[in-house]
Each structure stands twice: as structure tokens, then as C-alpha cells.
Structure 1
């Protein structure tokens, strides 16, 4: 009775303010969590009224409450009123939007220059709203760019927008990598790095609208990227910032989004950006689920009116106690946050035996068998997968997620988690941004990210993953560190856009920005750099093809190449005319030497990158790299095997797939330019093919597609070796003949790979 009265009180007191919304939302979520209470007829009606009053219709959907089930023929006024509400918030797509979603849509549509910056909690549904914006402007927008921070989120949205385009019969062709030809109406779904590539390759490309997610990444202070991602933090914020700058300069309409940004307190540079481009900021602060903050660092754990005394005071024991409690009470999917790849692996290893034994799902078992088949080999008489914690943890329903894993492993672990096959994920920041999860609980084990302290923004962002609207009413956060809990109330630095600020800019911003957008001192620094390039007689557009590399260092490489004889230039072109020639001549070392010459790389990095790239290019490259790491130790413990796998995955992701292609692209652009100046033919250069080989590790058309969409590279290489003719077909051709080809695929692929192939080809 007490909750019913509180619910009625908050319904009557609701006035649309944040305070009244939070009061009503919290009691609705509390009651909805308790099936025994919400099943009473009067409670059902009150819950329905509360949801309608807040205009958060997801609560009624989750509670399976329908107007026709709650009314009688005498309730004409009640029915009429609620039908009007539903009609007002239902768009031409047939979707019913919540209050704040409709507010953003109507604001966007009312503007002549449609430019919004929306800060909202993770449960806001920004990409759901994005589809509404696109549909409502489908006749105005021919070319659209959607910029997502990670490949995982990119791939997820490729599938979503394929369905959306098909369902709504829209005209767009989806472009999700740099190897697809453009058509008249294009929907680019890209990372910032890939978007920059298109800007460079198609300088006259006119976008009508762009969306950028996780907008805070333009500021290094707010960048929470996992160190295992394909770029380091100090580089990633530059990529985001330059992409946003260039798109804002050339595109009329845009929608920028990010969580937990205080738009009332932003830096001077960001204020100038907002004013210059007439951006309308919208600050949405209200969460749509109730958050329960559970103090867990004391001697007693208090959850749901229960008190559990810890056996000892160690943080690891407290974590084990919380995990056991969540498992025993069946409290839902849980993310355990820790500061590093080593730590999350260690925690999974230390806690996996807490999980009750039982049969795993077929999908999870297929995935485990795939990992054992593709990534295990006999080293000194022992199978490496037998001492690989990731496999052992998965067998117990525990997962590990960090940025060094191949993206398809990250995706599959996340999918198994969201489908309930994995109960706990031990993770760095790789899962707290750029992906969607169905976690109900968060456990804060670490208080840093790598060697840097977590900021209050980081903590709020991680907390945002506790509970998901349309799936949960309540999200719980367990704090094993008092400092983390106390930081929630602290204010971080202001989000800034340094390009427009008074701060001294680095070469990336100076090289890419227009003089009239810079403050006086920065404009003077840019003018000096531009004069040096002009005096050398170098076309500045050539240098801008490599936007993230110091123009003056590029200038030095050009000078070095110009000093080569015609024969030496022709030899370089020949070595870069095919991946076969590039590999057989060990050209990677010669190429990297030029970056050593201008102090972009040191001598050790040249040797290390060259060895790793050369070994990985071999048919059994992964195992060569793994053997090299395992040979360094005399024992096969979980710790040493885990460390070896982690190092190899990191080197592949960070060096082979990112840094080497980056240097090949830069060198190729400069070599081609010098050849033009020296009258040396360069039409045989195959730089794009060499880049693609390192980026995705494969050489065929369908192989490139599968790699981009998250198919195991090792499996693609075997398919290319044994079914080369088929792998040169288009995706459409394989789709049309999949039933016929399936038997051939079965001879090569395991069950997990075959099911994934079917999904990627036929979806």
C-alpha cells in the first residue's frame, strides 16, 4: 500500500520538472521490478497513467500494459485523452517517441540550418532517433555520413540500417569501408579514420547531413579509449576533431551526440564552435531507469535489505562475494570494470570457479570450439588453449573483453553476453563506450584506466551501462572503491574544441584548419608553416592527403625521395606494384626507414614493426608470432600463455592493422607525387592493395567484405587458399548460390564460422 500511495502522490505532483520526473520514474521502476505488486488491477492502471504522464512509453511496453485492457466503455474521456497522447507522439514511421526524443525531432525539423548537439544518457536512444531524422528528410538528403567511434558499433549499425532501408524502401547504398564505389545516394557508416579517407579521395563530395557519436572524443581530456584500440588516445582525439571540423565546414545539417556532457559548462573553443556554426545545444539529464548505488568497500555488503559479511577484507574476496550473491539471486547480466587487459584477464581467472557447472548453449560451445581450433597450437608438447584463461572462463559462462582482441571475438563475446549465454564480462573501457549491452549490474573493481585516474565523466559513462531502457527498470552499480563513489559529485574539466580556442595548437590542427578559424597566435604559426611549404614549391593538397601527419615531416620525406635517381625510383615503384613484390623484397623495412629519417619512428620501432608485419604476412603468421612470445618463457602457466596471446593480438591490431597501413598510405602518396615531378611512371603502384592486405589480411573481394564485417581472418585466408575462385565472387553472387556452395564451405569452416558466414552473406 505504501508504494501505491507514493506512486499516486508523485503522479499528482508531476509538473514536468527534472525533480518530479525522477521521483515518478524511480517509483515506477521500483514497482515494475516487483511482479507481485504490478499485477494488481489498480496498480496496472496507475503505472499506465504514470508512463503516459511522463511520456516514457517504454515502461508500458515493458510492463505489457495496453489501454484497451485497462478501460471500460464508461471511460470515454480517459481513452480519448490517451489516444490523443499516443497520436501526438507517433511519427510517420509508425514509431512512438518518448517526450525528449520528440522534442529533439521537432527542434531539428523547425530549424533552417539543422544543427543540433544533444547530450543525453546512454538510454536515450540516439541512433533510434537518428533513423527518424533521416526518414523525415529522405527527400532532402542524397549523401549522409554517420560517424561511429568503433568498428564494432559501425558493424552493428550497418545491420540496423540495412533493415531500416529495406523496410522503408529508401534509396541509399550503404558505404561502410573505403573500397566500395559510390552511387548517387549514399549512406556512409564509418569511423572517423575512414571518413577522412573519403574526404581525401573525394574532395568534391557533398554531404547533406552527418551524425557524429561520442562527440566528447574531440577532447583528449575526455577520451576514455581502451589502450588496445587501434590508436592511442593522444592520436584519436585529433582524428575526431579534424573529422568534425572538416565536416562542419562543408555540411549544412548535422546532429552531434554524446553522453553526460555538461553543456552549461563548456570551454571557450567549444563556445566559439557553437556560435560560428549556429549549433543548438540540448541538454537531457534525466535517466530513464532507476540507478541503485551500492556501497561495497565496507566490511558488510548491503543489498536489497540483506546484509552479507565479507570473509576477509581483500578487494578480490569482496568481488567474489558480490559475484556469488548476484549468481545465487539471479540478478542479471553483470559487467566487472577493471583498469587493464592484464587485470580483467586475471580477475576472470580468479573468479571463474564461482560459476556453477552446467551445459553451455550450443552457440557458446561452437564459439569455444572455434577458438580452440583456430588459435591453439602445440608448443613444447602442450596445447596452448589448455592454459588460455579466456577459453576456460567462457566454459564457465564468464567473458573477457578488451580492445586488443580481434573485433569479431569482441563482437561474439558481447553477443553471447546480450543473449544470456555469458553472465559476467570482465572488461576495460572497451565495452563501456562504443557498444550496446544488456548489462543490469556494474561492478567497479578498478579506479584507473591504465595508469590514468578515472574522471567523474568516465565513471558516469561506465555507470550508464548499468541497466538498459526497454530491457530493465533498475540498474545497479557496486563500488569497491570509495574514491570512485565520491568522484560522482565532482566536476571535470570543461569539454573544449581546441581548434577554436586560444591554446597553442599542434601540427594536426594547424595543418588542417583555415586561417580565419584560428586565433591570432595560432594563425601566425600556421602562416609560417604554409610559407615553408610554399617556398619549397610543394603542392599543399598532396600533404593534406596525409592529414594526420606533420606536413613539414612529409616535406622532408619528399626531399629524400627527390634525391633518388630515376632508376631507384623505378625500383621502388616496382616493389610497390603488388603485394607479392612488396613482401618478397622486404620493402616494408625500406619504407619505414624514411619515417626513421624524419624522427617519426626510432630505429627499434622500424625493426619491430618490420619483423611483426613480415611474420604475420606468412600463411601461419599468427602462430609464428605466438611461438616467438612463448619461447621467451620456460613454463606454460595461465599467466604466461595469457600474456603471450595478449601481446600477439595487440601487435596485430595496433601495428599490423593500423600503423603499418598508415605508413604505407603516407609513403605511397608521397612516392607517387615525386614520381610525377621526376617523370617516372607510377601507374603500376598498388598501394591500395598493399594497405588492404595489412588492414584486413586478405586479398579477395569477398574476403575484404568478410574481414570488414568481423569474420575470422585465419578462416578467410584458408578459404582464399582452398576456394580462391569462389572468394573472387561478389557478395551477391555468393548469396544467390549459397545453398550450392554451402557443402564446400563446410569442408573448411567449423560450425561457428559457417553460421557467421551465412549471417554476413544473407543478412
Structure 2
């Protein structure tokens, strides 16, 4: 479309991008006005307005006209109410959420529509860009006071902490619960991953639940095991009859297989509150990619995310940037680096990169350090954050620039969906109106996915581990036929198969048959309680790896059952002392020649095996083995004490979980002054830590501790 003066959207975009609108300001605004009234042109109008907001000085004579256009385009949060006419002001005020205690909060057009539907108890499935402001809708719903019990299901523990901090403003009205052991209050906000929702002994009578990044229900995308658990969590939440709000980015449509009683409005919108400029860099010569990246970063202005495909690649990139002199030394970050070196290893790359303004964020970094780096990045202390997909999925950052250095994820080329998520991290509402995305390869072809919900579709690709969890009335005839073999068999009771969420029922049955056939040989090493001797631990590891969780290649530091038992035993001996475990890892120079490898191997093992996977598998093993032992005349087994201790890295109870709150384990142990304190509940431990004195903490520790206490 061209304005009456011949200006077109591409021409105006070019003018605004290069800061050359002089002499054409009024004509540009006139074109935008025309766009707001043309069908299908509203996105172009919003884009040009956002570009103008990025260069306000050049349009200072037209502030009232710009505010009127912002209102017409639905960008109410950016409008200045003092500049609005009475009709525009009425529309502006109509976009304020009810009973919100922040007078500065105003919805944009589509936010208001979604909010209104949910307030009317209408279910909503929202597909919207990263900058849409999906969380603000949730906050406003909570602020209304209409919903007494609310559950928020998040894909990562990092998002639990971010959301908990954001919702801490409602502590006076709600009890905020993030851990399954915390007791319910009269009014509750449950902020949890799907695993924790399933671990809750009882759900309150929910009025509202939200699932963030709901596309993860589709087990064909991402992590299928966690997708199965998310479907189970959805089923548990749906049983409550609560209003639901499913939110995620860049979805084309929902699968047609959803049942008729799954009633919801599907809102798919491209409404964005920032603009992302995509810039394709010249193809560097072979072997010159890192040099080209360093050259680009040296020229960038503003906080910058650099996407890499793996932790190993992130290290290569960070090291290359440092060698090229990118970044600037920051004395205020040196104390953080010194603390990291003392508590992990002084040669770990993170200790060296942080003082130069270069952070590293991936799944092997301890959660408290990841949260610290995101905070330092958003505060402007870290200019660069080299990251993997762990930062792309939902954690809010204030990045002006995103550099997509690698175009792969899990060894596959980025699809358009994932690329769009990464791209959406550029820009920040009210802070960076225009973000920049730099690519070293052409972007993938546009192809947004259709999301399947296997809980309802029950297609041939849906695993039996999910089908056996589906409520009987919701089972399709073909699904009922598939799982009949589990109902009719007697090797493992159906309730045990279902209790072991996410585990293949056929593998559980095969395990039970094997133990029965070899009971006389296995019984002595399986019939234990409390703390196992090494050969008993190894016997359990053999069954876990051979039946419940096959290890293919090297999986998070483990390549065999024998190695799993050995590493678990070493972790128990270290009693949570990560520094000691790193030194032991380095003592084997053939396997772990570099400090970076030693640190990240230890952290990766702890998080995946004792911290999550092993305790669940061990308790599943107990549920299968214990009845067989009793049948054979042996004592029953009880692995719960060991499993619980392993999950906490063999530290005092619940101490490992304070990492989720942004407090490093080492600092928590320092505050507790040793291993003698064992909390009865998570709340007891949090209360003990909250009452601590800061006297023997350095400035870095004090900063972490005060942030921890502020949001409890």
C-alpha cells in the first residue's frame, strides 16, 4: 500500500531504520493512519509506530498525533494518557485490568480480549509472539481476586523461580507453593513443573490453571518423556473443572482430534509489542566463523544474546570472544568470579568470562548462577550472554540483539518454530522497541506447526505409558484394545504401572519377569532398606539400566550400570561437596583432562542422575521388586531413604532445592553452619535461612542472599 504522497511501508521502514525521516514525519504518520483503517494492514501500522517510538526525538512535534495512532493501532501501553482525546482516553481506561494495584499497567488490544474471556470463565488457548505479554494477563487475573486457587505449570525450574518472584507481590492474598511438600493455605498459587504437579498429594479445588509453552504437550516436539508427564498433568488439572489458559508461541493450529468437550477459544495472533530486524551476515570463509562473530560483537551496541547449539559450543564461543578482546572488564563482577572459582574451580571458564562482561548460560550451569547471570545481564552488568536453548524457552531477558551463531538444535537444523522463539528474544517492551537478529545462515522457511495433544488424539505414535494413564471414559476403542494386555496380565498390578509415570509398562513387566525367574540369585542384593552396600546399589543399577532406563552411549556422565553405581557412590561420599567431586573428576586426566570438562561433567551428572532421574527410577524399581520379594518369602525392600537423600545430593533435607530460589547450595550450607540442621519441611528450611545474619558474607553472597529473602 502507498500513501497519497507515494510513501510505502518498505520505504518508510528504511527511513526509520536509518534515522532519516526528516521532512517526511507528517506524511509518515498520515500513511500509518491509513494503514490502521485498511484490512490486513494493522501489523504494518504497529511496526512503523514502534520504529518511531525507537527514535522519539525525530517526531517530538507530533506526540499527540502519535498517541492517537497508538490507541487506534491497539498499542495502549505505549500511549501517554495526557495526550489523548476524551474518546481515546475512555478507550485507554477500558484497557486497564480490574483491581490491579499498578496504575501504569494497561493492556494492548488483544491482551484485553484474552483477559476478558478468561474473566468470563471462558477457556482460552493462546498462540502469540514472545513479546505479546502472556504473563501479564495471568498476573491481572490473579490480581482480580476472582480465583481462589490457581495453578501455573511451567516447563523449567528456572521459570518457576522467575514466576515466583514476579507473583510474590500477591503474598498477602495467596500462599505461593513451588514444592510438593509445602502445605496448602486457604488461597493458593501453585507454581510448578508438570513433575511437581503430579507429585502433589492433593490438589486444591482449582478455579484457574495456566500451562505455559503448551506446545510441549505434543510429544513429537522436544522431550517426549516430559511431554507424556505434561499430558498427565493436563488430565489431572482438567478433572478439577477449572477455567484454563494455555499459552505458547507461533502455533498454526490445534490438531483436529481434540474432543468436543475440550471447549476453548483458540486465539492465534501476530500482535507484537516490539519489532525484530533480521540481518543476514555475509558468509564467512570456512574456518573463519568465530572471527566473524567476534568482529560483529565488537560493533554491537546494547545487551546481546548469542545462541549456540550446545554447552561445548558455548564454551568455544565464549573463549573466542575473550581472546578477541570483546567485552569490557567490570570490577564489580570480579567478586562473583572469585566466589565461583573458590566453590567450583578457579580454571573454569565462567570465572574468567564473567569479569569481561561475557556470561555463559546452559543446562549444566547451577541454577543459582544461571539466575544471577540473567539478573546481571538485565541490569546491564553483563553485555553478552552466550546461551543454548535453555535461555530461549521463556526466561525473560532485556536483549537488544540476538545473534544466531549456530543453526542447529540437538544436531538438527533449526525449524521455523524454534527459530521464531529465538528471534523473539530480541527487543523488550518499554525498553528496546526495535531488536536486532543477526544470522550467519538464511532463516528456515516459514512453516508453523499444528500441535497435537496425545492425551486426546491417542494415535499410534502415543506411547503405552501415557495411554494407561488416560481415564477410562476418555479412552478411544483402539486405545482400550491396546492397553487390555496390561489389564489382563498379573506380573505387575495395573496401579503400579500407572504409579510409575512415564515408564514403559512393557519394560516394567519384563523387569518383574526377570526378577521372578532369578529371585534366589538376586534377593540378597535387592532386599535392603535404608543405605545400601555397594554391591546392592550396583544390583539395582543393573536392573534400572537393563530394563527401565537404557543408557545409550554416554548419557550425562554415565555409560553403564557399573559406572552409574560408582558415580552414585562417589557422590554419596562427597556429601554434596561439589568442589571435592570436581577435584576427583580431574584426578582422572585421561577421561577428564580439562577443568571445564570436570566442572560441567560433575554438574551435569548431579542434575540429571541423583537430582532427578535416579530417585524416580529407584522408587519405581522398589514398587515392582518389593511385592516379588514378599511372594518369595524374603523381607520387603524400602529404598525411599536413599532415594530422597540422593535427590538432595546427599545434603541435609531440602538444601539442594534452595538452588531453585536463587541461593547457591554452598551459601545455604555456610548459613546453616554445617550438616547438623535437618529441616522437617521445605518451609522450615526457608524460614531458618530467612532469619540468618549477613555478618560473615562477602558482598557477592550478601547480594544473592538479599535477593533470595526479598521474594520469599
Compared with structure 1, are the counterparts of its residues 504 and 220 closer, same or farther at alpha carbon in structure 2 (3 Å cutoff)?
Answer: closer
Structure 2 residue aligned with 1:297: 282
Find out whether 1:761 has 2:689 as its counterpart: no
Q: 1:132 aligns with which of 132, 137, 140?
A: 140
Match of 1:654 among 584, 608, 623: 608
1:110 aligns with 2:67: no
> For residues 64-143 of structure 1, what are the structure 2 equivalents within 5 Å?
65-67=80-82, 70=83, 79-94=85-100, 95-111=105-121, 114-136=122-144, 138-139=145-146, 141-143=147-149
TM-score, L = length of structure 2: 0.86
d(CA) in 1 for partners of 2:188, 2:632: 38
Q: Secondary structure at the match of 1:434?
A: coil
Deviation at 1:527, TM superposition (A): 1.7
Query: Who is 1:595 aligned against?
Result: 544
Tell me, in whole angstroms, the C-alpha distance in 1 between the residues paired with 2:385 and 2:108: 31
Partner of 1:521: 478
Higher mean alpha-carbon deviation, 98-107 vs 650-659, is at 650-659
In structure 2, the residue matched to 1:494 is 450
Work out whether 1:350 is the aligned partner of 2:326: no
SS at structure 2 position matched to 1:189:
strand
TM-aligned CA deviation for residue 646 of structure 1? 2.4
TM-score, scaled relative to structure 1: 0.81
Q: Identify the structure with the greater helix proportion.
A: 1
Look up the SS of the partner of 1:724 in the other structure: coil
Taking the aligned partners of 1:735 and 1:237, their CA distance within structure 2 comes to: 35
1:611 aligns with 2:566: yes
CA contact (8 A) 2:365 2:603 kept: yes
* Counterparts of 1:596 and 1:150, CA distance in 2: 26
Report the secondary structure of 2:181's partner residue: coil
Separation in 2 of the partners of 1:694 and 1:641?
25
Q: Distance between the aligned counterparts of 2:184 and 2:97, measured in 1?
A: 31
- Alpha carbons 1:117, 1:280 under 8 Å: kept: yes
1:669 shift after superposition: 3.7
Counterpart position of 1:422: 382
Q: CA deviation at 1:368?
A: 1.0
Which residues of structure 2 form unaligned runs of 5+?
1-22, 552-557
- Alignment-derived partner of residue 270 in structure 2: 285
Q: CA RMSD in A?
A: 3.3
Pairs within 5 Å for 1:457-472: 457-472=417-432
Q: May I ask how many residue pairs the two structures share in their alignment?
A: 675
Structure 1 residue 416: Cα displacement: 1.1
1:122: Cα distance to partner? 0.8
8 Å CA contact retained: 1:697, 1:713:
no
Matches within 5 A, 1:7-26: 7-15=29-37, 17=39, 19-26=40-47
Q: What is the aligned partner in structure 2 of residue 663 from structure 1?
A: 617
For residue 361 of structure 1, report the CA deviation from its aligned partner. 5.4
Which residue, 200, 211, 227 being the options, matches 1:237? Answer: 227
Report the equivalent of 2:15. Answer: none
1:735-758 CA-to-partner distances (Å, cap 9, x unmatched) read 6743xx333xx1xx5442343233
Contact kept? 1:734, 1:761, Cα under 8 Å: no
- Aligned partner of 1:693 in structure 2 is 645
**CA 498–255 in structure 1, closer or farther in 2 if over 3 Å, else same:** same
The yes-or-no answer on 1:406 pairing with 2:361 is: no
Residues 513 and 736 from structure 1, CA distance in 2 versus in 1: closer, same or farther, beyond 3 angstroms?
Answer: closer
Q: Does residue 319 of structure 1 match 2:318?
A: no
| 1:731 Cα offset (Å) | 4.8
Equivalent residue in structure 2 for 1:30, among 45, 51, 66 = 51
Q: Measure how far apart 1:495 and its partner are.
A: 2.0
CA distance in 1 between counterparts of 2:698 and 2:38 reads 55
| Residues in 1 aligned to 2:204 and 2:698: alpha-carbon distance in whole angstroms | 42
Shift of residue 103, structure 1, vs aligned partner: 0.3
Question: Residues 164 and 191 of structure 2 are in contact (CA less than 8 Å); yes or no, is this contact kept in structure 1?
Answer: yes
Whether 1:456 and 2:416 are equivalent positions in the alignment is yes
Residue 177 of structure 2: aligned partner: 175
What's the offset of the Cα at 1:673? Answer: 5.5
Residue aligning to 2:674: 722
Contact 1:443 1:477 in 2 (8 A): yes
Rounded to whole Å, the distance in 2 between the matches of 1:91 and 1:35 is 28
Aligned equivalent of 1:576, options 504, 529, 535 = 529
Corresponding position: 1:164 with 2:170: yes
Q: Tell me, in whole angstroms, the C-alpha distance in 1 between the residues paired with 2:644 and 2:135.
A: 29
Residues 504-557 of structure 1 show CA distances to partners (whole Å, capped at 9, x for unaligned) of: 43222222123443444333111222222xx45x54223322111123433455
Alpha-carbon shift at residue 478 of structure 1 (Å): 0.8
CA distance in 2, matches of 1:657, 1:614: 14
Looking at structure 1, the residues matched to 393 and 687 of structure 2 have their Cα atoms a distance apart, in angstroms, of 36
Deviation, 1:80, is 1.9
